[in-house]
Amino acid sequence: MKSLTPPLLRCLCLNRSMDFIRPKRMLYFWIDKIRNVLLRLSWHLVHSIINLCYFTTGMVHALESHLISRGLLRKYKSLHISKIRYLAIVIESEDACRTSNVIELLQWLAALGIKHVSLYDNEGLLKKSKDIILEKFDGAVLFQDTHENNVLLDQPRMTLEFVSFYDGKEAVARAANVLLMKYIKSGGIGSNQGEQIFTESQMSEALKTVGSGGPEPDLLLIYGPARCHLGFPAWRMRYTEIQHMGPLTCMTYGSLIKAIYRFTTVRQNYGK
Amino acid sequence: MDGNRRYTKRWKLMQGAGHKVGYSALMSMLKYCYELGVRNVTIYAFSIDNFKRSPEEVQSLMDLMLDKIEELLREESIVNRYGIRVYFSGNLKLLNEPVRLAAERVMLATAKNSKAVLSICVAYTSTNEIVHAVQESCEEKWDEIALLNSSGGYEPDESDHLIKVTDIEKHMYMAFAPDPDIIIRTSGETRLSNFLLWQSANCYLYSPSVLWPEIGFRQFLWAILNFQRIQFYLDKKRKQS
């Protein structure tokens, strides 16, 4: 009996403390739950306020864009369009099937005097529709890799290039295999000695060989929900100015002019 | 981290002062990142293109870098406080010996840290990174082919001996880190200037107009809130690619 008492007592004490701990634990549990709910509500509130701010600035930009399109804002009347030699347009793949929007955009660019446009969408839907686009937009010729870049600018009509993911990372892999063949033929000179075997210009040549050697755009306009280049060929984007234009369905002539004007005011040091 | 020299000009400071203030801004930003639970942070400290600057400016930047790299080795430094593993990404052979040796010491000293990662891009450009990765891939394939040749198993037509995108990616300087979610470039500049071009396919690009030495928590918070608005879209794009 005596030996049983301490465990019994301990059991009794534990029970008593359990009776005290359980409500306390429940209380902390509910405090935690309420705190999480309040945090979540605050997060949603903050984002609602941000969405409202963006809606308001969107209205202001739409008005400004309308005034620019009408030619009422003096600042945007004269554009130094010659500063843009190569322009790239990134389109969200879900919008890439809207060929009428794409053609309207190309018509605006042609009217402004842009000589070379690269149209990119990640999945290559624009590439698939290229015949339809070239047929309906008769102001352009298809870009051939064999063109030298300075020849592109002398063309009377716009040169149009269709780019997709195939011309990005996959093209670098194909170009790497071209260099690999050269490397094998040379007997693997410089192998594992830490020497530089390939140069950037050799890489550029290899990319041209595999059909993905287009020029580096001066300006890249993104028509999509986010400021994200969606995999535009990395090799061609070193010093490209990137601007987000919003969804393709909301494109306006005025916002295009504003983006080009902004580009013409930029000064680059190229690292110096 | 753009805008250090413009900051010096704007506030009429001595040459190099902008970079020193920029370093303090960097430390604050790193603290915000690690406190908020951001595990991987990459900074563009020195581009290969920056070697084109005047020799005096390059030397003063190298001296500042050496000084700050050695500070990282101290007991009370940020790397020890947050358990940060430090990597130096880039063509380190282009750096002078003291800086390169200091960088190697820091990488060795922090190799066991595992709570967070700091990648410092020095003597780095994306195009150099891609060429380097292609070169390493070629050397790897050459070794594979040489081995197969010696055992008589090499078939020139087999596609296994061709370089794939995954082969190139595993030889990138930044292969140890996941692709970034947000890239912040200050001073209102909208270009990437040869930084993480390969890794930024599904990344939110944020360009606040503030100069780097003046950046604060406000801009950092705004970047995160903007990222959260499009996170669902970017995650969808990432899964598709």
Q: What is the pLDDT of residues A128-140, one digit of tens each?
A: 998 888 888 877 8
Residue A240 and residue B142: Cβ atoms within 8 Å?
no
ipTM of the complex: 0.89
pLDDT 10s digits, B41-94: 999 999 999 999 999 989 999 999 999 998 888 877 888 889 999 999 999 999
Q: What is the pLDDT of residue B162?
A: 87
Kindly tell me if the per-residue pLDDT of A42 is higher than 90.
yes
Distance CA B227, CA B192 (A): 18
Q: Quick one: CA torsion of B22, B27, B33, B34, rounded to 10 degrees?
A: 170
Contact list, A223 vs chain B (CB under 8 Å): none
Question: And the tokens for A132?
Answer: 């339809």
Contacts made by residues A181-186, CB under 8 angstroms, sequence distance 24+: A183/B138, A183/B142, A184/B142, A184/B145
pTM: 0.88
Q: Compute the nearest-CA separation of A243 from chain B (Å).
A: 7
| Average pLDDT over every residue of A35-39 | 95
Q: In this complex, do B49 and A272 lie within 8 Å of one another by their Cβ atoms?
A: yes
Say which of A122, A177, A241 has its CB closest to residue B191.
A241
Quick check: B52 and A270 CB within 8 A?
Answer: yes
Per the CB < 8 A criterion, the answer to whether B103 and B92 are in contact is yes
Q: Name the catalytic one among B2, B49, B67, B167.
A: B2
* Structure confidence by residue, pLDDT tens digits, B119-172: 999 999 999 999 999 999 999 998 888 888 777 665 555 566 789 999 999 999
Q: Chain A window 42-101: which residues touch B at a Cβ cutoff of 8 Å?
A: 46-47, 50-51
Q: What ranges in A123-199 are assigned the alpha helix state H?
A: 125-128, 130-136, 149-154, 169-185
Label residue A237 by pLDDT band (50, 70, 90).
very high
Which residues share a beta bridge with B124?
A: B47
Q: Which of residues 183-202 of A touch B (CB under 8 A)?
A: 183-184, 188, 191-192, 194, 196-200
Is residue B143 flagged as an active site residue?
no
Q: What is the DSSP letter of A87?
A: E
Longest Cα–Cα distance in chain B = 70
Average pLDDT, chain A: 86
Q: Counting Cβ atoms within 10 Å, is residue B201 exposed (0-12), middle (13-18) or buried (19+)?
A: buried
